[in-house]
Structure 1
Amino acid sequence: MTDLFVRRWMTDQQRAGYSLCLILDPEHENDICQSLLNASPIEQYLSVYEGTAITDLANAGPFIFTLDQPGDRRIDGLLEHPQRNWGWLASLPKGDLPNLAKHWRERLLIGPRAHQALYRFHDNRVLARALEQLPADALPAYLGPVISVCCWDGAGWKITDNPAPGTYPVPNEPLWLRTSTCAWQAMQIRLINAHRYLLAEHVKAYADLAGQHDPDAWIRDRLTQADAWGWHAPEQVEFLLVQSLQAPAYTLEAYWQARADETPARHFERVYSLQGFGKRQTSL
């Protein structure tokens, strides 16, 4: 059983004197997350989004729990089903839980201030891709106080040791933001970020949509349409999502379709203007 591999790693880390911690995405593991929250002393867990610019998403965002024992039965369901992509495991120096939360809080938001996105460090697929591609000398700034990571990469459990655990500033050009991502993984990240944006900024309209459509399928269709039109900039995708959400019967008017002689930029400017927002400043 693959979970025996993880239990052995957990035992080795505890015997070395380190704390064990679980980085958990509660989005699809809410029951397990609530069980851990109810059974854990307050000093043994943290919400990573708490106290940040996205603190309103604190309950939906990742939690970090410290685990007392390698044989903790509360996480059996997670270890037996790693394909649910619930997060990952790490070892830390004793008492370093607050430092780990601070480390990832400093790396949460990426991109220009006006168009920031969330870096999904808690997604084991994102972490595994970065760990696979980063050179060894970039690992300390990426993993911070983490001593060792045990992570499901889609095919099996992988262990990565941090060569120099500690406290590091965020590099000006983080290498982990340059790692390549498969198309499916990239779409999953975009879906989750779009979902959280609509939940935070347009919750009533989004709830109304969910009463008539599968939100994941609806967002996927919008993102696919944005790709087909060549609308890749964050403001273009945001515009398409919000206007589609507000359109009668969630159906855009015919003038939204691209013309044969239009570049993606001119197409966007035309639709933006026809939607009543006026002419945007453009270098075209």
Structure 2
Amino acid sequence: MTRSFPHRWLIEQQRLGHALCVVLDSENEHPMRQTLLKSHRPDQYLSIYGQTPIAELGDAGPFVFIIERPGDESINELLNRPDSHWGWLASVPKGGLSKLVEHWRERLIIGERPHQVLYRFHDNRVLARALSYLPVEAYPSYLGPALSVCYWQGMAWTSTRNPAPGTYPVPDSPLWLQVPATPQQATQARLLNARRFLLAEHVQAFATLAEQQDPEMWLRATLDQAGAWHWQTPEQLEFLLTQGLQAPACSLASYWQVRPAEKPDEHFERVRLMTAFWQGDAPL
């Protein structure tokens, strides 16, 4: 059955004398979190966001609970639905809950103000991508005091052993923050950045477009066109977005089409010059 691997992992880690933990995505698992809170003593769980600069967001942040019985009904429910991405399992030395939580608190906030973001370490997909990318020698600084972790990696359960559990400082340039984005993540990031650009610099034109057609569909189609032409630099994307908004019925003129054997940079420069000419901004 689906939960056989993680259940065996839990039993084996307990047999070795380790404490068992579930790292739970509290925001998307609020009913489960409440169930676990009712069945755990105060010393058996901690909020990751607690005692951090974002403590006020604790209700939406991840929690770590000690698992006393591997066959607990609530844990079995989680193991039976790995595709809901509720989090992952970890084993730590007895009494190691606070050290595990402190480890992730130190790695929680990424970047400098005002461009700080939260690292979603509690998402099994984030953990799985990081561990598949990191060399084994980087596991200790990433996993910290965790002895072993067990997680769903999209198609099956797997586990990873930490070769040197302990307390480590956060590296100056953490390798886990250099994990390449998936195609889906890259697409979402481009959409988000493009939307922010248009709302900040061309809000009226974008609003006018929204009166004529679905702005999200137009935005996706425009970025798909940029991808087809291999226009990926900020200058190229901004040019295509702004000119697309100005074009009659948001339809680009025929000279925009790529010519045979024309390289992306040549194509962009030709279109930029011709657009300037037709708009009366430059000689051809």
The TM-score, its normalising length taken from structure 2, stands at 0.69
1:94, distance to aligned residue in structure 2 (A): 0.4
| More off after superposition, 141-150 vs 104-113 | 104-113
**Count, aligned residues:** 216
Match in the other structure for 2:54: 54
Distance 2:99 2:31 in 1: 27
1:224 to 188, 191, 196: 191
Match in the other structure for 2:128: 128
Q: Which runs of 5+ in 1 are unaligned?
A: 191-222, 245-250, 271-284
1:79, distance to aligned residue in structure 2 (A): 0.5
Match in the other structure for 2:267: none
Match in the other structure for 2:167: 167
CA RMSD for the aligned pairs? 2.8
Q: SS at 1:254's partner residue?
A: helix
Residues 225 and 148 from structure 1, CA distance in 2 versus in 1: closer, same or farther, beyond 3 angstroms?
A: closer
1:39, distance to aligned residue in structure 2 (A): 1.2
Counterpart amino acid of 2:22? L
Kindly report which structure 2 residues correspond to 1:99-248, keeping only aligned pairs within 5 A, or say none.
Answer: 99-185=99-185, 224=191, 226-227=193-194, 240=199
1:115, distance to aligned residue in structure 2 (A): 0.3
Q: Is the 8 A contact 1:149 1:161 kept in 2?
A: yes
Distance 1:4 1:17 in 2: 20
Residues 252 and 132 from structure 1, CA distance in 2 versus in 1: closer, same or farther, beyond 3 angstroms?
A: same
Distance 1:266 1:252 in 2: 14
Q: SS at 2:167's partner residue?
A: coil
Match in the other structure for 1:212: none
Q: Is the 8 A contact 2:133 2:179 kept in 1?
A: yes
1:185, distance to aligned residue in structure 2 (A): 4.5
Match in the other structure for 2:257: none
Identity of aligned residues (%): 50
Q: Is the 8 A contact 1:125 1:185 kept in 2?
A: no
Distance 1:111 1:54 in 2: 14
Map Cα deviations across residues 202-239 of structure 1 (whole Å, 9 max, x no partner). xxxxxxxxxxxxxxxxxxxxx72633x7x6xxxx69xx
Residues 187 and 52 from structure 1, CA distance in 2 versus in 1: closer, same or farther, beyond 3 angstroms?
A: farther
Map Cα deviations across residues 113-142 of structure 1 (whole Å, 9 max, x no partner). 220011000000000000011001100000
Q: SS at 1:78's partner residue?
A: helix
Query: Bigger radius of gyration, 1 or 2?
Result: 2
The TM-score, its normalising length taken from structure 1, stands at 0.69
1:29, distance to aligned residue in structure 2 (A): 1.4
